[in-house]
Amino acid sequence: MRRRLLYFCCTLIMLAGIVVASTVDSQAASEKPMIDGSYLTHDDESVGYDTKKTRGEDLLVGYSKCVEVGPGKFYGGGSTVAVHTVNEVGVGVSVERAQKGDDCWEGYDAWLKFNQNADRVSSSKMLEVEGGYYYRISCVHSAGNDMSSSFTDGVYIEKP
């Protein structure tokens, strides 16, 4: 009987801990503003990995990255890696910005880079940007016949 009571108490304590932990996590997540799947952060950098829609034969991985370098300075870019050498591997990079309270990202800059008969491509830029905005990188990755996309969270850039 005593063992059964001890088991019941331990189970009750564990259950209460799970309920409290899940409530705290969901409150913390809901307090972070988000636009189109990207959190608005004050982190120094953010990396996003591709989301494949189908299983392909050529594309291995793609990612995008952005870094707050200093007030008014932003570094961003993307990379695409193929499983093997393909006719063309490419990355399309878009820089987008928003402010807290916005409901969508606005385009700021964009560029493309392709490599022929290769298994990878990367492209990045250092940009002087207007401070007071969150900036993110959104990329489209292609290798042979496969495509995917990736995006980062928004990184806040201070005014110079």
Alpha-carbon dihedral 94, 44, 67, 59, rounded to 10 degrees: -70
Q: Are residues 48 and 69 in the same domain?
A: yes
**How confident is the model at residue 13, as a pLDDT?**
52
Structural domain for 93, as ranges: 38-157
CA 81 to chain CA centroid, nearest Å: 17
d(CA 45, CA 68): 6
At 124, the amino acid letter reads S
Q: Are residues 11 and 73 in the same domain?
A: no
Q: Please indicate, yes or no, whether the overall pTM of this predicted structure exceeds 0.85.
A: no
Q: How many structural domains are present in the chain?
A: 2
Q: Are residues 81 and 150 in the same domain?
A: yes
At 36, the amino acid letter reads D
Q: Are residues 18 and 55 in the same domain?
A: no
Q: Are residues 94 and 115 in the same domain?
A: yes
Q: Are residues 24 and 103 in the same domain?
A: no
What are the tokens at 126?
A: 């250092």
Q: Are residues 58 and 103 in the same domain?
A: yes
Q: Are residues 42 and 108 in the same domain?
A: yes
Q: Are residues 88 and 124 in the same domain?
A: yes
d(CA 35, CA 42): 15
For 23-76, how does the pLDDT look when each residue is reduced to its tens digit (9 = 90+)? 444 445 557 899 999 999 999 999 999 876 656 789 999 999 999 999 999 999
